[in-house]
Amino acid sequence: MSPVLPGATIGVLGSGQLGRMFAIAARRMGYRVHTFSPDLDTPTGQIADVEIQAEYSDLDAVRLFASNVDVVTFEFENVPAATADAAASRAPVRPSGEVLHISQHRLREKNYLAQHGFPVAPFASVSSLDQLNRALTSIGAPAILKSAGFGYDGKGQFPISKADEAEAAWSQLSQEAVLERRIDFEWELSVVAARAEDGTFAHWGAVRNHHVRGILDLTTAPAGIPPEIERDAVKIARGVLDQMQVAGVLCVEFFLTKDGNLLINELAPRPHNSGHFTIDACITSQFEQQLRAVCGLPLGETTQFCPAAMTNLLGDLWSAGEPDWAAALATSNAKLHLYGKMEPRPGRKMGHITALAGTAAEAEACAWRARSALVR
């Protein structure tokens, strides 16, 4: 394909913090950015040249939006597939709508991965209480019942410790779902990687993640795992991107089991929360890499300067009033990133802090200190 060069206009479907950081990278490299979402004065819209407010179901508006840009990408996977298709009728969409279609639906994603030989936990499709009971018989408990579509940050997930909890779990969901065996894992890992249309591949290695209430709380890079496990994680990630013919950035989230096996938990076909450290710690950030990949430019070098840790700032931090930004910024080697969201809510991602240090443990400690300092 002919490269989309600086001075061109990039369209972003979605308008959250991922789009904001992408727009910052794009503006720095001389591109214009248009964003499309149902909201106004959004994190992305505050940075973009043009912010279009319309429903994703308004396909005429989507087609008009795409007619005014040179290439379209998306910043979260819950954009309806029909929206991506409408955009693709007017401009290239990267990654493709097919990648979006697979990864926005847990059952389609699990089936796709299993059918192509990628390692996943035992799972079953569930659309009724009777099916759930049969699935529990075959898969066993403990297990997790997950909504099949449109889930993230732990939403739409219900643990089942024993079979007699099935009815209560189903009553909270009552929709197409996936039952997965609960994995006794050693670590949660992720590999954020990029692929160009010509198959060129780049990655930032494996990072270690810690979640609280289903929301990522801390990422440590590098992960500090045995080199052979990291090589396997990167190899699996490359296999996924190649199989799906991704042109863009995609994150593969893994469970590392107690016996040293890697299982894919889920995919995110865009920059990922666990890759935010790349802004401050790497030659090329995940957001610049997304821009390079969707524009057909050479992928950037991903060397990491030093160990890093990233911790999320949720709306809960505002419960006692405005956080003490000055105290956090007094912490050496800590970088503050805020997303321009005006209304803090419990569980809402308002920003993050990245800490850099000589070792991963020191970076973690620095990140914790900086976040703790925010509470007056």
338-352 tens-digit pLDDT? 999 999 999 999 999
The listed CATH number (3.30.43.10, 3.40.50.11540, 3.40.640.10, 3.40.50.20) that belongs to domain 9-93: 3.40.50.20
Decide which of 307 and 78 is more confident.
307
Cα–Cα distance for residue pair 251/257, rounded to 1 Å: 19
Domain boundaries, the chain: 9-93, 122-181, 185-373
The residue count for the chain: 376
Q: For residue 276, what pLDDT is reported?
A: 98
What lies within 8 Å, CB to CB, of 273 at 6+ separation is: 216, 219, 310, 312, 349, 352
- DSSP class of residue 300? P
Q: How far is CA 278 from CA 208, 248, 310, 356, 366, in A?
A: 14, 16, 10, 11, 17
153 has a pLDDT exceeding 60: no
pLDDT digits (tens, 9 = 90+) for 3-48: 999 999 999 999 999 999 999 999 999 999 999 999 999 999 999 9
- Output the CA angle 22-24-27, nearest 5 degrees: 105
Cα–Cα distance for residue pair 59/311, rounded to 1 Å: 37
Average pLDDT over residues 284-310: 98
Residues 185-373, CATH architecture: 2-Layer Sandwich (3.30)
CATH superfamily of 122-181: ATP-grasp fold, A domain (3.30.1490.20)
- For residues 81 and 104, is the Cβ–Cβ distance under 8 A? yes
Model-level pTM?
Answer: 0.95
Q: How many CB atoms lie within 10 A of CB 236?
A: 19
pLDDT digits (tens, 9 = 90+) for 212-244: 988 999 999 999 999 999 999 999 999 999 999
- Residue 317: band (very low, low, confident or very high) from pLDDT cuts 50, 70, 90: very high
